[in-house]
Every structure is written in C-alpha cells, then in structure tokens.
Amino acid sequence: MSASQPLRVRAGRSGDVEDLLALEANFPGDRMSRRSLRHLLSAPTARVWVIAQQRQVVAAAIVLLRRGSYYGRIYSVVVAPQCRGRGLARQLLRYAERDARSLKLRGLSLEVRVDNTAARTLYRDLGYVETQVLEHYYEDGCDGVRLRREFATD
C-alpha cells in the first residue's frame, strides 16, 4: 500500500462478500458465514463499512443497530494482516462513530476476547471503557470483555 495514497471508507455492497469472507478468515475465534455476511450487507439493522485498496476490501467494520436501543453494537472489525498498523481500524471506527451519531445513537458497545491485546489497546486508545468481564464468553472458553463508548453531548 502506498503511504501517499489515502484510502477512503465506503459502504459495503453485495459484491464485497468474497473479500469479506477472506478477511474474516483472519479473525480469532468465531467467524461469520457467507450467508450471514450476505444478510448483513442488505439488512437495515446493519451498517457495513469497508476500505478497499485496488478494488480489494482490506478492512471492514460492521455495526448492528438494535430496535429500541440508543447504542449500536460493533459486531466485527478486521484489517488484512499486510495492512495492519497503518491506522485503518482507527479510520473505520471513527467513520462508524460519525455514522452512529448521525443516526442519533448515544454510543457504541462491543465485546472482545480478553487475550486480544491489539483490539483492547485500539479501543482503549479510542476512548472505549471496559464495563464488564464475560466469563467463558467465546466458543473455546475464553473470557470476553464488554466495552462501551458514550458520545459526548454537544
């Protein structure tokens, strides 16, 4: 990836399914199926944001909207291994937050594995606060931690 070439965030579309599946293969633990991804890409209750490089999706974030809730749930954030450490996750999350604010949400929440140091550091860096430990939350018995970011009211 060229450092001089800024990559932009766009909404995910149906043609991104295969790229998204390939990205998901890098995800530690539970993964999404092709069917779930197809559904999410067209569901009014999901916001899928991607960053593509030369037409290939290299980073993605999925936020779920819950009926009757003022908080969106970050369902997935993943960056291709060769593109990590370049601020793409930060860029996606900031974009997703702006979108959530535009929908009048009060904040975002998510769960992450306790052993996912990169993700926990990323979210802490972005102002997310760990609110709860979720014992044996993942399929392999790993604990999870719930995080939340409240948007500032201004």
Using CB under 6 A, list all residues that contact ligand COA: 26-28, 77-79, 84-90, 112, 116-119, 121-122, 125
In whole angstroms, the minimum distance from the beta carbon of 138 to ligand COA comes to 11
Cα separation, 134 vs 119, whole angstroms: 16
Q: Which CB sits closer to ligand COA, 41 or 79?
A: 79
Sign of the torsion angle spanned by Cα atoms 51, 125, 136, 64: negative
H or E stretch covering 99 = helix 88-102
In whole angstroms, the minimum distance from the beta carbon of 28 to ligand COA comes to 6
Q: Which CB sits closer to ligand COA, 48 or 79?
A: 79
In whole angstroms, the minimum distance from the beta carbon of 29 to ligand COA comes to 9
Q: Which CB sits closer to ligand COA, 15 or 87?
A: 87
Q: Which CB sits closer to ligand COA, 139 or 154?
A: 139
Cα separation, 80 vs 84, whole angstroms: 7
**Cβ-count burial of 104 within 10 angstroms (0-12 exposed, 13-18 middle, 19+ buried)?**
exposed
Looking from the CA of 1 toward its CB, the CA atoms found within 13 Å total 21
In whole angstroms, the minimum distance from the beta carbon of 85 to ligand COA comes to 5
